[in-house]
Chain A
Amino acid sequence: MPTAATIRSQIESALAQKIPAALSPSTRNFRPLLSTGIPALDERLSGGFPLGAVTELTGPECCGRTSIALAFLAGIVEAEKVCAWIDACNAFDPASAAAAGVDLDRLLWVRCGHPHQPATAPLPRVAVPEACFTPKPAVRGLHGGGYGPHPRTEVRGISQALEALFHQQPAGEEPAPPQTFPARTERLPAAAIARRPARPGHYAAIERALRCTDLLLQTGGFGAIVLDLAGISPEFVSRIELSTWHRYRVAAEKSQASLVLLTQYPCARSSSELQLRLLPSEPLGEEAATVFTGMQLHVEVARQRFAPDAGNVFAMRKPPRSASGAYWINRTSWAGLR
């Protein structure tokens, strides 16, 4: 009489063309979890944020993404690890981080949104001639009463004059000859091809932030890396290629760093292991308070891969999801314990 294992293998081999490993449950991945420092959220996530994976916090402004990320970093820093905050919006506030319990000595802050001025030659000093400071003699009538140029032409040439003022040539130098353009058949010299200037605005900041994230993930050793794109509108962030997020997911898994992504709209898609959607927060309604005391946050789990189960029974069907989110109150540091 064949054993159950034999029968199972026979069925699996028969169905192998249609359903590979039909009766063998797939291997279950259990990823270690790190506490977020917020009990309500930890309870909802059955432990916290996954280690070595991408976690995405999405939501509008003032919904609490920064405070969750800082609370998470505070726990990692307390374990004597180092973290990084890649700030594409130049919005990080060190005082808030310190108030949340983050040791600033263990936090690497990369300001990608701050304008970077490369070292260049000092600008030439602009010397305004003394004649400009001597008052002109009074003239009769409006604009000289017809004894000078017409008022409609008095602003002409100002742009050229200002340009000449701020890019004045040293005295005694011959003026440059008029530039002649080579014929189309001539080949331009290599030196004439100038490097394209950096794209201004959000695209340049995002590009810098992505490069820095790449570098830090490859270096390894960071407990958590926060990529802060929370202040950039989704029309810019959504243009980031999906392969970038996949690369980050692989690198984070390899270096065992938790990558926390702050955005307004989900963009990492399947590369994020945990995706939290933060809903607009509500005021506390403490009418008697004379200072701003905090707000109540509401988080929903939009996506969670490899959620830890309580039992050892393998569910053949997808387990039901909890519709309710997590609620908690974020108080300001000056509000005190209540």
Chain B
Amino acid sequence: MTPQEMYVCMIVREFPAQALLRLRPDLQAQPCVVLQGEPPLQTVVSLNTQARLMGLRAGMTRVEAETFPGVVLLQRSPAAEAATRAVLLECAGNFSPRVEERSEPAAFLCGIDIAGTQSLFGPPEMLTRSLRQRVRALGLQARLTASRNFETAVCLAKGLPLHRSLQIAADGEEAAALAPLPLSVLSLTDAQAETFSLWGIRTLGMLAALPERELIARVGQQGQRLRRLAGGTLPHLFQPAEMPFLLEEHTELDQPLENLESLLFGVSVMLEQLILRARARVLALAAVTITLQLESGAPHCRTVRPAQAANEKQLWLKLLHLDLEAHPPAAAITAVTLQAEPGSPRQVQLGLFAPQVPEPGRLDITLARISSVVGEDNVGRAVLEDTHAPDAFRMERFRLPVRRCVPASPRQPRASLRRLRPPERTAVTLRDGRPQHLVFREQRYAVVQAYGPWLESGNWWTEKGWKQEQWDLIARASDGALLYGCVVQERQNQWRMITLYD
């Protein structure tokens, strides 16, 4: 052990219950127990403080737990535990890249190598407080210990009394700190526990005081390991775990849900957690995918991707709400999964002379609202197609342009077109092959000037080939009104007005 070594151990007790209640703040004030096993042989595997104060204990059967009034019974969720475990490892990873997981069936436990982080996070006392605060923000209660010996930190964490959440073992005082702890923190086998019980050994201090040679002679080589463990001198080969940064939250609903507004209450808590985790890495959410597990079996998946990455919860909530309203699930919802893609947070330097543009977040919400009114395909920016076909364009999603506007040449007033969609039927009388009279919208016009015919065709090499004969007309009605338009001849004596010049 080198003097530079320093380890922090984090333990989250009653992990199955805490993992389930993390995203259920409405249940945190109520007594809750987590059941495991096949019905009806279910037993309590974990519970919260309120349930413990009522007298509930782990190992009780479901029938026994139901005798207590007001107790909320929850089913153990491996998915929620896996997600919470990933969240905790990622949180620990914010303080050091070297994290080793030593979880137990009912508790999450990990060791963090914090050697060399003093200049960043301060002494171990300060770091453990910061870490505890960060974990508390995730909706979990963790206990933290620090020591120069890894195993000492682990044993201290396991034996920490209920009223304490932090303990730092000073350098050289590991044995003294471990001495009052019971032997149960060592994970002894039944035979070893019985032997020590017969010898009257109850604490680690009593075990460390035993002579080494005689202990090995009676218990075997494991005796030496246990004695060094109890004395705080057992070396440890640190095995850091890989921590992929995955922004994902999953929750299962107690009963199938059909109301979107009720669903959004739960989604709000999950979004809050995602934003918290992204913000810890100085990131923002660039896209959020919501996957709703439906009662019918098929998942309903929607992705919301605003113009810029954002960390505003209300913005994301509104965008998800509008999207789900536009594309509602076909059946009742049984589980919700949120996955987010991280992105760089918005960096906008506002200037005094910067042009006025809409705020990106508000613009996204406005576009989503407008989409719900007119349809997704009817809002956006127009992109002209590279074709001679009339009225050829496609709609794309509107985004605030980042490129600078190229100053155009000196502008000149231009005659513009107004498209008639669909083209309106009109009657045209020809004379010598040129339009002479025109009836449009129940009004008769005499053609003053006709330009054409303009023959156009395209895509003749495919099934979508088109061709048409156009005439630009200036026509005057009997009351003097002038009409500037463009007509096309579809078939013999079938004319349509496609545009008006305005």
By a beta-carbon cutoff of 8 Å, the part of chain A in contact with chain B is: 37-38, 60-67, 70-71, 74-75, 77-82, 89-101, 103-114, 116-119, 208, 211-212, 215-216, 218-223, 230-231, 256, 280-283, 289-292, 294-295, 297, 328-333, 337
Q: How far is the CB of A253 from chain B (nearest CB, A)?
A: 14
Q: How far is the CB of A51 from chain B (nearest CB, A)?
A: 10
Contact A62 B485 (CB under 8 A): yes
B431 at the interface (CB under 8 A from A): no
B499 cross-chain contacts in A, Cβ below 8 A: 93
- Complex CA–CA separation, A104 to B383 (angstroms): 7
Nearest to B354 among chain A residues (CB) is A80
A290 cross-chain contacts in B, Cβ below 8 A: 451
A77 cross-chain contacts in B, Cβ below 8 A: 405
A337 cross-chain contacts in B, Cβ below 8 A: 412
Q: By DSSP majority rule, is chain B's interface helix, strand, loop, or mixed?
A: mixed
Most chain A C-beta atoms within 10 Å of own C-beta, residue among B407, B413, B481, B502? B502
Q: How far is the CB of A64 from chain B (nearest CB, A)?
A: 6
Contact A91 B412 (CB under 8 A): no
A71 cross-chain contacts in B, Cβ below 8 A: 411, 413-414
* Count of chain B residues near A, Cβ 8 A: 60
Contacting chain A: which of B9-17, B184-192, B201-209, B357-365? B357-365
Contact A108 B379 (CB under 8 A): yes
Contact A94 B393 (CB under 8 A): yes
A218 cross-chain contacts in B, Cβ below 8 A: 366
Q: How far is the CB of A198 from chain B (nearest CB, A)?
A: 11
Nearest to A82 among chain B residues (CB) is B357
The verdict on A110 contacting B370 (CB below 8 Å), with A71-B414, A222-B358 known, is: yes
Contact A219 B484 (CB under 8 A): no
B369 at the interface (CB under 8 A from A): yes
Nearest to B501 among chain A residues (CB) is A62
Q: How far is the CB of A229 from chain B (nearest CB, A)?
A: 12
B74 at the interface (CB under 8 A from A): no
- Complex CA–CA separation, A305 to B384 (angstroms): 39
Contact B502 A61 (CB under 8 A): yes
Q: How far is the CB of B278 from chain A (nearest CB, A)?
A: 26
The verdict on A78 contacting B482 (CB below 8 Å), with A96-B417, A215-B370, A291-B472 known, is: no
Contact A93 B418 (CB under 8 A): yes
The verdict on A101 contacting B416 (CB below 8 Å), with A110-B379, A283-B448, A290-B451 known, is: no
Listed from nearest, the 9 A-B pairs whose CB atoms lie closest are A221-B358, A116-B375, A94-B382, A111-B378, A292-B472, A96-B416, A66-B502, A80-B355, A91-B418
Contact B356 A67 (CB under 8 A): no
B1 cross-chain contacts in A, Cβ below 8 A: none
Of A74, A110, A111, A329, which contacts B411 at CB under 8 A?
Answer: A74
Nearest to A62 among chain B residues (CB) is B484
Contact A104 B408 (CB under 8 A): no
- Complex CA–CA separation, A225 to B370 (angstroms): 15
Q: How far is the CB of B359 from chain A (nearest CB, A)?
A: 6
A82 cross-chain contacts in B, Cβ below 8 A: 357-358, 400-401
The verdict on A61 contacting B483 (CB below 8 Å), with A221-B356, A283-B474 known, is: yes
- Complex CA–CA separation, A175 to B384 (angstroms): 51
The verdict on A212 contacting B370 (CB below 8 Å), with A292-B501, A295-B484 known, is: yes
Q: How far is the CB of A109 from chain B (nearest CB, A)?
A: 5
Of B373, B395, B404, B484, which contacts A212 at CB under 8 A?
Answer: B373
Nearest to B364 among chain A residues (CB) is A219
B136 at the interface (CB under 8 A from A): no
Nearest to B391 among chain A residues (CB) is A93
B398 at the interface (CB under 8 A from A): yes
The verdict on A331 contacting B418 (CB below 8 Å), with A77-B405, A94-B384 known, is: no
Contact A212 B382 (CB under 8 A): no
A331 cross-chain contacts in B, Cβ below 8 A: 412-415
Chain B window 460-476, contacts with chain A (Cβ cutoff 8 Å), 1 for yes, 0 for no = 00000000000010100
Contact B327 A119 (CB under 8 A): yes
Contact B416 A67 (CB under 8 A): yes
A90 cross-chain contacts in B, Cβ below 8 A: 419, 421
Most chain A C-beta atoms within 10 Å of own C-beta, residue among B403, B412, B482? B412
- Complex CA–CA separation, A80 to B384 (angstroms): 20
B420 at the interface (CB under 8 A from A): yes
Q: How far is the CB of B474 from chain A (nearest CB, A)?
A: 5
- CB neighbors of A among B329-358 (8 A): 355-358
28 A-B pairs with CB atoms under 8 Å apart are: A61-B500, A62-B482, A62-B501, A63-B502, A66-B418, A81-B356, A89-B418, A93-B391, A93-B419, A94-B384, A95-B384, A96-B414, A96-B416, A99-B414, A101-B411, A108-B380, A116-B375, A208-B374, A216-B370, A219-B362, A221-B363, A222-B358, A291-B451, A294-B415, A295-B415, A331-B414, A331-B415, A332-B415
The verdict on A281 contacting B418 (CB below 8 Å), with A81-B355, A107-B382 known, is: no
Nearest to A85 among chain B residues (CB) is B382
Nearest to A292 among chain B residues (CB) is B472
Contact A101 B408 (CB under 8 A): yes
Contact B374 A92 (CB under 8 A): no
Contact B404 A104 (CB under 8 A): no
B449 at the interface (CB under 8 A from A): yes
- Complex CA–CA separation, A103 to B383 (angstroms): 10
- Complex CA–CA separation, A60 to B485 (angstroms): 14
Q: How far is the CB of A207 from chain B (nearest CB, A)?
A: 9
B404 cross-chain contacts in A, Cβ below 8 A: 80
Nearest to B393 among chain A residues (CB) is A94
Contact B370 A66 (CB under 8 A): no
B244 at the interface (CB under 8 A from A): no
Contact A91 B485 (CB under 8 A): no
Most chain A C-beta atoms within 10 Å of own C-beta, residue among B374, B395, B411, B474? B374
B129 cross-chain contacts in A, Cβ below 8 A: none
Contact A292 B413 (CB under 8 A): no
B417 cross-chain contacts in A, Cβ below 8 A: 66, 93, 95-96
The verdict on A117 contacting B375 (CB below 8 Å), with A90-B421, A106-B401 known, is: yes
Q: How far is the CB of B469 from chain A (nearest CB, A)?
A: 15
Of A105, A223, A280, A297, which contacts B481 at CB under 8 A?
Answer: A280
Nearest to B375 among chain A residues (CB) is A116
B355 cross-chain contacts in A, Cβ below 8 A: 79-81, 223
Q: How far is the CB of A31 from chain B (nearest CB, A)?
A: 16
B418 cross-chain contacts in A, Cβ below 8 A: 61, 66, 89, 91-93, 230-231
B69 at the interface (CB under 8 A from A): no
The verdict on A215 contacting B415 (CB below 8 Å), with A62-B484, A107-B382, A116-B375 known, is: no
Of A38, A62, A80, which contacts B413 at CB under 8 A?
Answer: A38
B52 at the interface (CB under 8 A from A): no
The verdict on A37 contacting B502 (CB below 8 Å), with A221-B356, A221-B357 known, is: no
Q: How far is the CB of A170 from chain B (nearest CB, A)?
A: 17
The verdict on A60 contacting B408 (CB below 8 Å), with A37-B413, A108-B381 known, is: no
Q: How far is the CB of A119 from chain B (nearest CB, A)?
A: 6
B480 at the interface (CB under 8 A from A): yes
The verdict on A283 contacting B380 (CB below 8 Å), with A221-B356, A221-B363, A291-B472 known, is: no
- Complex CA–CA separation, A61 to B407 (angstroms): 31
- Complex CA–CA separation, A166 to B168 (angstroms): 77
Nearest to A64 among chain B residues (CB) is B502
Most chain B C-beta atoms within 10 Å of own C-beta, residue among A62, A71, A97, A289? A62
A60 cross-chain contacts in B, Cβ below 8 A: 481
B400 cross-chain contacts in A, Cβ below 8 A: 82
